[in-house]
Amino acid sequence: MPEEKKIEQVKNIYLFHGENIFSSTAELNRWKDEFVKKHGDSDMEIFEDAEKTDGIISAILVAPFLSEKKLVIIKNYIEDHSKKQVKGSTNESEDKPAEEKQTKKLVNALSKVPSSTIVVFFEEKEIKTGAIFKKIKEIGTIKLFKIFTEFELQNFIKALAEKSKSQIKPDTIKYLIEAVNGDSWAAEKEMEKLATYRLGKEITKEDIDMLVPPNPLTSIFKLTNAIGEKNTSKAMKLFHTLVSSGENHHQIFSMILRHFRLLTLAWDLKNQNLSFNQIGQKFHLYDPKIQPFVISIYSQQAKNFNLDRLREIYAMLLKTDADTKTGKVKETVDNKTEAMLAMEKLIINLCK
């Protein structure tokens, strides 16, 4: 019984790890935002220096000062210390015993963390072993943020449905993947919500439309698809849907501009006859956080455009950007009519 009490006490220790940094960072930011809303930021500490083991131990053991709770975030500590211990084991350094001693001190401290303190280890790689990993597995909660291929993500969602005793068709799985923009962590959270709503019945596309929050990037993909198809009415409808969902027209323009940059990159790489893995490596040089599923969509979309068309579109985007920045398109806090008309005119011209 005493041991059970101890384990219950330290369930507020977490490990976020895995190479899907886009999803893990989004989740960590959500936790930070929620904490600040409830408790303010005076009792939130973030450690990005693996050398500060003593400071970390002090932070996780000292009770909150001004609020009921404390949040301590420790970034890439496990990976950094693991590298140093490996280095020591090859006789390139004599620091291995010191590193092991520091790790042991931190592991011991984890068993003494007060219930008022939330500890989050944040690692940008998947952690599979080590004293800290084993301790968190024993007494805390581990959340893996994995990058899936589209096929792996489909199987992952299918397995989630089976686990929750829900039913979902393959085309609905693909629809959900599009809705969450290929984000495995978001897919898992939304499947939990959908399964709870359907209670063992089949999950439909209508359920997804109703329960899954719209993803701006997914809408941008649909908008650029409509531009590729030269479907003006569909493109305008999607633009106004984005605006009505709360997206600022400047943000929408920035997303469209970025999208066509990546689309041009995808077109160029496809025409070099590179494999999907090679294309993925090139994309990750531009954006390390981009998901494999998203890369595959860019590659598919690139087939709808030729280089002349992409150059023409890019020239129109740059002109609109210049007109906005030089004041040719007038906009005030109270009057955004001209700016909105400029965006609508741009979309009409992009569809010609």
Rounded Cα–Cα distance for residues 150 and 153 (Å): 5
pLDDT of residue 159: 94
**What pLDDT is attached to residue 160?**
93
Q: Do the bridges between strand 202-203 and strand 167-168 make them parallel or antiparallel, or are there none, so unpaired?
A: parallel
Q: What's the confidence (pLDDT) of residue 216?
A: 78
In DSSP terms, 17 is beta-bridged to 123, 144
Q: At what angle do helices 307-325 and 337-350 cross, to 10 degrees?
A: 170
150-211 architecture in CATH? Orthogonal Bundle (1.10)
Looking at this protein, which amino acid is placed at residue 333?
Answer: V
CATH code, residues 2-144: 3.40.50.300
Q: How far apart are CA 130 and CA 133, in angstroms?
A: 5
Q: What is the pLDDT, as a whole number, of residue 185?
A: 81
pTM check: above 0.85 = no
> What is the torsional sign of CA 288, 291, 295, 298?
negative
DSSP symbol at 214:
P
Q: May I ask the CATH architecture of the domain 216-350?
A: Up-down Bundle (1.20)
pLDDT in tens, the chain (352 residues): 334 334 344 479 999 998 887 778 878 988 999 999 999 999 999 998 777 899 999 999 998 988 899 999 999 999 887 766 555 544 444 556 777 888 899 999 999 999 999 999 999 889 999 999 999 999 999 998 887 878 889 999 999 999 999 999 999 999 999 888 888 888 988 999 999 999 989 999 999 999 998 777 788 888 888 888 889 999 999 998 888 877 888 888 888 998 899 899 999 988 888 887 788 888 877 777 677 778 888 888 888 888 898 999 989 999 988 888 888 877 776 667 888 888 999 999 999 8
Q: Tell me the H-state helices in the chain.
A: 2-9, 21-39, 53-61, 77-89, 96-110, 131-139, 150-163, 170-179, 184-198, 205-211, 216-228, 232-244, 249-270, 276-286, 292-301, 307-325, 337-350
Beta partners for 167? 202
Between the two ends of the chain, the Cα-to-Cα distance in Å is 73
Give me the pLDDT at residue 96, please. Answer: 62
- Name the residue type at position 187: A
Report which DSSP code applies to 146: -
Place of tokens 């294309």: 279
Domain boundaries, given as residue ranges, for the chain: 2-144, 150-211, 216-350
Give the pLDDT confidence score for residue 34 in this predicted structure.
92
Give every strand in the sheet of 141-144, ordered side by side. Answer: 44-47, 70-75, 117-123, 13-17, 141-144
SS (H, E, C) 331-348: CCCCCCHHHHHHHHHHHH
The predicted structure's pLDDT at residue 66: 82
Q: Which of 5, 17, 128, 156 is nearest to 76 (CA)?
A: 17
Nearest-10 Cα torsion for 131, 135, 138, 144: -80
Domains 150-211 and 216-350 share a fold: no
